[in-house]
């Protein structure tokens, strides 16, 4: 058995910081301790050894808004590894009316070149008996315990409250976690039409059409519906105080509600849309849009205090050419930005180096919390004997300027272009295999494996505060008035 030892590093996990070496055998951590010998050595002097990042939210090669997102499981997973992310969770999206099992097969067929491990969320894009039945197969047999609901994208992916409540109740029965894209799609559609009618057709109108209230309302609604259904709920791309506030309040009441800010919302603001050339602004069109600095402060505070748990990218990259489909009508600009390669370096630079996050919090929000919520801990997200050796040897003194010219992503720009980051992987290991060494890519196409995620074990019914307070009771009445008196 070949043995690799990561030597002389400081191990940083979500709860501990200590000096020790790590032995890896057959892709798994087999020993942790001082002065390990007997194997190939990777020098971690001056570095932090952390669990590899998990991006819980990517869209690789996704058919969307008349095109396909430009990064596939090849360039996308290379980008992930280059930046220290060792697992991505992508979304399988059935067309309305399509079987979820067929959609899953289609998505699975895209993954043959994946260089790091991956998993899927399944989207609920329509509702019916077939969906109800297939949800059980998806959870029990396919290793998927999360279902995504879009409250926006009217006429395409959007589901209504009726469909969402049905699906959430089914999630409660199956031990699944619903994810929600929380924006009020009806309000967005009306605002978009009004802006266009008034001659506001540029990319900045995308931001005007999706104010924070649109997100706050939908987040509140999703949380209340989850409470009534008796299931936990995970709000993807939480971008503003209104949404964060709803999550905070629910958590304070004892509900299992999770919030996921994106690194883009944490570090880029709405000025990216204004007084910029059309391409610059359109390249940054995503939903929800970038917000003001007040909202950024709220998100950072949420990560530090624990009211927000995960940092993702929603990596959904489109080339400038694809973005230009929306010249003259901002509604046609494909929504999405990249970020997979930059999530960890940006979060380290703007979070840990500035004192907004501790190193342990950094590990929690980029890896461990995600692994726990998605139920793959401690196989992923941990430095423990028996865990997968998905590891980063993080060099806090290694820096670079982010440029499109040097990125793994297939697109022709980078929303963080010109940003100076300090903190990069010296090594990225995926199940023990060195995929990145001192900035050089050594990843292997097809190395990535599907990671099954079993159902959640929390007792779903006990989660609902609503049920406890107002459980329906049959009332025996006497003295019923006689009609006509």
List of residues contacting ligand DUC (CB under 6 A): 59, 181, 286-287, 314, 316, 335-336
| Contact partner, 78, from Zn ion, ligand DUC, none, Cβ < 5-8 Å per class | none
Contact 14, 364 (CB under 8 A): yes
- The tokens for 420 are 């100076």
Nearest residue (CB) to ligand DUC, 215 versus 361: 215
Contact 119, 375 (CB under 8 A): no
CA–CA dist 146, 329 (Å, integer): 34
* Three-state secondary structure readout of 291-335: CCHHHHHHHHHHHHHCCCCCCECCECCCCHHHHHHHCCCHHHCCC
CA–CA dist 182, 215 (Å, integer): 6
Nearest residue (CB) to ligand DUC, 75 versus 287: 287
In the complex, the smallest distance separating the C-beta of residue 287 from ligand DUC, rounded to whole angstroms, is 4
In the complex, the smallest distance separating the C-beta of residue 417 from Zn ion, rounded to whole angstroms, is 8
Nearest residue (CB) to Zn ion, 185 versus 230: 185
Could you say whether residue 154 binds Zn ion (CB under 5 A)?
A: no
Which H/E stretch holds residue 247?
Answer: helix 241-252
CA–CA dist 350, 419 (Å, integer): 11
| Contact partner, 58, from Zn ion, ligand DUC, none, Cβ < 5-8 Å per class | none
Nearest residue (CB) to ligand DUC, 59 versus 283: 59
In the complex, the smallest distance separating the C-beta of residue 297 from Zn ion, rounded to whole angstroms, is 23
CA–CA dist 6, 383 (Å, integer): 12
| Contact partner, 280, from Zn ion, ligand DUC, none, Cβ < 5-8 Å per class | Zn ion
CA–CA dist 437, 414 (Å, integer): 23
- The tokens for 32 are 């942790």
**Which residue from 280, 331, 356, 398 is in contact with Zn ion, where contact means CB under 5 A?**
280
CA–CA dist 76, 314 (Å, integer): 12
Peptide bond into 378 cis (omega under 30): yes
CA–CA dist 25, 389 (Å, integer): 9
| Contact partner, 336, from ligand DUC, Zn ion, none, Cβ < 5-8 Å per class | ligand DUC
In the complex, the smallest distance separating the C-beta of residue 409 from Zn ion, rounded to whole angstroms, is 16
In the complex, the smallest distance separating the C-beta of residue 91 from ligand DUC, rounded to whole angstroms, is 9
- The tokens for 169 are 């109740």
DSSP 8-state secondary structure symbol assigned to residue 273: G
Closest-by-Cβ residue to Zn ion is: 280
**Which residue from 181, 265, 283, 419 is in contact with Zn ion, where contact means CB under 5 A?**
181
Nearest residue (CB) to Zn ion, 352 versus 370: 370
Kindly identify the residues of this chain, within the stretch 310-339, that bind Zn ion according to CB under 5 A: 314
Burial class (CB in 10 A: 0-12, 13-18, 19+), 100: buried
| Contact partner, 286, from Zn ion, ligand DUC, none, Cβ < 5-8 Å per class | ligand DUC
CA–CA dist 80, 87 (Å, integer): 8
Nearest residue (CB) to Zn ion, 52 versus 339: 339
- CB under 8 Å to 18, separation ≥6 — which residues? 10, 11
| Contact partner, 125, from ligand DUC, Zn ion, none, Cβ < 5-8 Å per class | none
In the complex, the smallest distance separating the C-beta of residue 262 from ligand DUC, rounded to whole angstroms, is 9
In the complex, the smallest distance separating the C-beta of residue 322 from ligand DUC, rounded to whole angstroms, is 12
Nearest residue (CB) to Zn ion, 7 versus 283: 283
- The tokens for 15 are 């709860």
In the complex, the smallest distance separating the C-beta of residue 181 from ligand DUC, rounded to whole angstroms, is 5
| Contact partner, 335, from Zn ion, ligand DUC, none, Cβ < 5-8 Å per class | ligand DUC
Nearest residue (CB) to ligand DUC, 232 versus 334: 334
Nearest residue (CB) to ligand DUC, 83 versus 185: 185
Tell me the window of 159-167, 176-184, 199-207, 372-380 that interacts with Zn ion (CB under 5 A). 176-184
CA–CA dist 35, 165 (Å, integer): 55
Q: Which residues bind Zn ion (CB under 5 A)?
A: 181, 280, 314
């Amino acid at each position: 058995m070949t043995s690799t030892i990561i030597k002389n590093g400081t191990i940083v996990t979500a709860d501990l910081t200590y000096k020790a070496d790590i032995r890896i055998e057959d892709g798994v951590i087999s020993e942790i301790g001082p002065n390990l010998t007997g194997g190939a050595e990777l020098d971690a002097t001056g570095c932090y050894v952390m669990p590899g990042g998990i991006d819980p939210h990517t869209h690789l090669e996704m058919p969307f808004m008349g095109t396909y997102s430009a990064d596939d499981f090849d360039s996308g997973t290379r980008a992930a590894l280059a930046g220290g992310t060792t697992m991505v969770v992508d979304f399988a999206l059935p067309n309305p009316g399509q079987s979820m099992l067929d959609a899953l097969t289609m998505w699975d067929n895209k993954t043959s070149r994946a260089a790091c491990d991956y998993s899927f969320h399944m989207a609920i894009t329509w509702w019916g008996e077939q969906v109800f039945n297939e949800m059980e197969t998806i959870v029990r047999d396919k290793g998927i315990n999360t279902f995504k609901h879009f409250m926006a994208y009217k006429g395409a992916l959007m589901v209504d409250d009726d469909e969402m409540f049905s699906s959430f109740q089914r999630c409660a029965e199956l031990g699944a976690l619903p994810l929600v894209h929380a924006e009020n799609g009806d309000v967005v559609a009306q605002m978009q039409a009004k802006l266009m009618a008034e001659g506001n057709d540029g990319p900045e109108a995308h931001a005007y059409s999706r104010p924070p209230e649109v997100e706050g309302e939908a987040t509140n609604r999703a949380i209340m519906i989850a409470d009534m259904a008796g299931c936990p709920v995970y709000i993807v791309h939480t971008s503003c105080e209104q949404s964060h506030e709803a999550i905070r309040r629910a958590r304070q009441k004892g509900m299992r509600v999770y919030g996921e800010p994106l690194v883009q919302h944490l570090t880029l603001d709405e000025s990216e849309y204004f007084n910029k050339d059309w391409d610059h602004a359109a390249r940054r069109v995503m939903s929800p849009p970038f917000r003001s600095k007040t909202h950024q402060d709220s998100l950072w505070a949420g990560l530090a205090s624990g009211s927000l748990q995960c940092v993702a990218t929603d990596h959904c990259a489109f080339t400038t050419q694809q973005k230009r489909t929306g010249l003259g009508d901002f509604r046609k600009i494909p929504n999405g930005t990249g970020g997979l390669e930059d999530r960890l370096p940006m979060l380290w630079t703007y979070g840990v180096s500035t004192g907004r996050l501790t190193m342990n919090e950094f590990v929690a929000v980029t890896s461990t919390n995600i692994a726990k919520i998605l139920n793959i801990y401690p196989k992923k997200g941990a430095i423990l004997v028996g865990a997968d050796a998905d590891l980063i040897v993080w060099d806090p003194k290694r820096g670079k300027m982010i440029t499109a010219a040097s990125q793994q992503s297939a697109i022709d720009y980078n929303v963080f272009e010109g940003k100076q980051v300090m903190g990069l992987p010296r090594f990225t290991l995926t199940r023990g295999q060195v995929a990145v060494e001192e900035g050089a890519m050594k990843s292997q196409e097809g190395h990535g494996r599907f990671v099954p995620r079993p159902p959640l074990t929390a007792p779903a019914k006990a989660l609902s505060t609503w049920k406890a307070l107002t459980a329906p009771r049959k009332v025996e009445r006497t003295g019923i008035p006689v009609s006509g008196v």
